[in-house]
Structure 1
Amino acid sequence: MKPVIAVICDTTQSGPHIYHQVGDKYVQALRKCSDVTPVLVPALSESPVAVAEIMAFADGMLFTGGYSNIERHHYGAAPAPEGEHQDPARDMNTLSALPAILKAGIPMLGICRGLQELNVALGGTLYPRLHDIEGRIDHREDKKAPIEVQYGPAHAVTVTKGGLLHKIVGDDVFMVNTVHGQGINKLADTLKIEALADDTTIEAVSVKDAKAFALAVQWHPEWRAWENPQSVKIFNAFGDAARAYNLSKTN
């Protein structure tokens, strides 16, 4: 039986109805490159699925990207301007799940919003508008461009030598896409930098002294992951960690 990866959903409203959803690209990357079974967990604001319930069946957790931003009060910032897309239900579920699964030694991979959630959950802060910070490039996609352009190579990242990401991909520098408006400001004390963009934006982190695989990246390796050598290696490593965790439960 394949390892099970729990994926907490986003919530979105269509007409009068609330939907729980995860982008197909994440599910496809997990199946094709991690060789695992993804299980979607609804982000319930009332009677949420308890972290203990998730840990009872999950061999790993993926924290995906998303169109919403983390509510700013979670990292001590002033409220967002009216109209900013936020997802309080997802925040409630992911920010409570992260410390618990790290403590339990369950493998985790964070992508884009998932990296930001990891940093905030462990006490770090964010830049609500990274492109407003002097010296930073605009990391947002051109939404008028074709999707292949939006998720195409945009800038290089320099990998921390000897770190977890370096051991996984084996590259000192490689190109990534960039589809985000926020980024890490103050790094949580229990995180360490795994990669930086040329403008000093933190592009990947790992958890210090983690009991299991614990990596998060700011770009989107799930986009056609099977066509990108670094993405394949990241999802392979995550799948291997989930298999090892599953085996440890059996033994």
Structure 2
Amino acid sequence: MPKPIIAVPADVRELDGTLWHAAQHQYLNAALVAADCMSVIIPAFESGNDADALLDRVDGLLVSGSASNVHPSLYGETSDEGRDGPFDPGRDATSLELIRRALARGIPVLAICRGIQELNVALGGTLAREIQEQEGKWDHRKPDTQSRDDAFAIRQEVVIAEGSCIARYLGAGRVAVNSLHRQAIGAVAPGLAVEAVADDGTVEAVSVIGAKGFAVGVQWHPEYWAETDQPSRKLFEAFGEAARAYAEGRT
């Protein structure tokens, strides 16, 4: 059977005065190597995309991390571009609708970093901004280094809940992960179950309650070490197996 096809919503970036619709190599490579899936990058338009037409042609949705943040207006709050940005309205419009429609159709979803935040907002939750400034919270931001390996180094633990969806793949209890975020889930959306937390209470993973298929979000970055770190690889393998099962059922 051909490899499943995974949709990856693009980020909009400007390079030499030209707009690009792009996705980071590390996510596409993890989908290929660890999940054994092919990827297609979905252009991030503020309007005009047809989510169902796109999802008719794929077997999974991988919602990646990004340097941009979900616009606060989408969860009922005001914004300060200098403090809360950068923003990417095309990415917001594309990802949130694809998430909602994929969940409705039972298409497997893996949401990472910005992706877990989009998943929460898409289902009615809110985000906490600049969490390192909140009392009792750690500094989860990217380490100050020019080395990407050091930036994505596995450096903290999360606690995975007993009986959770992720525990099926990674086991319950403590798992070591990386951390590179300024924002996190605030009010958890009604349709989400918390799967893992950091010791400071930050939500690190969620699953969709009553989902028709695999539907998981993580705040860390399993894509970066998917070839060498066992928990990271297992998460992508589980996503790939779900995509294969969906593809077989669709065929």
TM-score between the two structures when normalised by the length of structure 1: 0.97
- CA displacement, residues 31-79 of structure 1 (integer Å, 9 cap, x when unaligned): 10000111111102242x2101111111000000000001110011111
Q: Is the 8 A contact 1:20 1:43 kept in 2?
A: yes
- Looking at structure 1, the residues matched to 246 and 147 of structure 2 have their Cα atoms a distance apart, in angstroms, of 39
Are 1:50 and 2:50 an aligned pair? yes
Structure 2, unpaired ranges of 5+: none
Rate the CA distance shift 1:227–1:29 in 2: closer, same or farther, 3 A.
Answer: same
- Looking at structure 2, the residues matched to 127 and 23 of structure 1 have their Cα atoms a distance apart, in angstroms, of 25
Residue type matched to 1:93 in 2?
Answer: T
Aligned-pair identity in percent equals 38
- CA displacement, residues 215-249 of structure 1 (integer Å, 9 cap, x when unaligned): 00000000021101001110000000000000101
- Looking at structure 2, the residues matched to 65 and 152 of structure 1 have their Cα atoms a distance apart, in angstroms, of 16
- CA displacement, residues 136-192 of structure 1 (integer Å, 9 cap, x when unaligned): 001001233421111011210000101100011124211110000000110001100
- Looking at structure 2, the residues matched to 46 and 112 of structure 1 have their Cα atoms a distance apart, in angstroms, of 24
Q: Is the 8 A contact 1:71 1:80 kept in 2?
A: no
Residue type matched to 2:65 in 1?
Answer: G
Residue type matched to 2:128 in 1?
Answer: Y
Secondary structure in structure 2 of the residue aligned to 1:244: helix
Residue type matched to 1:60 in 2?
Answer: G
Residue type matched to 1:38 in 2?
Answer: S
Residue type matched to 1:78 in 2?
Answer: T
Structure-to-structure mapping, 1:113-128, within 5 angstroms: 113-128=114-129
- Looking at structure 2, the residues matched to 194 and 172 of structure 1 have their Cα atoms a distance apart, in angstroms, of 11
- Looking at structure 1, the residues matched to 148 and 6 of structure 2 have their Cα atoms a distance apart, in angstroms, of 27
User: Partner of 2:108 in structure 1?
Assistant: 107
- CA displacement, residues 98-126 of structure 1 (integer Å, 9 cap, x when unaligned): 11110110000000000000000000000
Measured on the aligned residues, the alpha-carbon RMSD in Å equals: 1.1
User: Partner of 1:240 in structure 2?
Assistant: 241
User: Partner of 1:167 in structure 2?
Assistant: 168
- CA displacement, residues 193-229 of structure 1 (integer Å, 9 cap, x when unaligned): 1100000000000000000000000000000211010
User: Partner of 2:36 in structure 1?
Assistant: 35
User: Partner of 1:63 in structure 2?
Assistant: 63
User: Partner of 1:153 in structure 2?
Assistant: 154
| Corresponding pairs, count | 249
- Looking at structure 1, the residues matched to 82 and 73 of structure 2 have their Cα atoms a distance apart, in angstroms, of 14
- Looking at structure 2, the residues matched to 242 and 46 of structure 1 have their Cα atoms a distance apart, in angstroms, of 27
TM-score between the two structures when normalised by the length of structure 2: 0.97
- Looking at structure 1, the residues matched to 184 and 11 of structure 2 have their Cα atoms a distance apart, in angstroms, of 19
User: Partner of 2:78 in structure 1?
Assistant: 78
Residue type matched to 1:66 in 2?
Answer: S
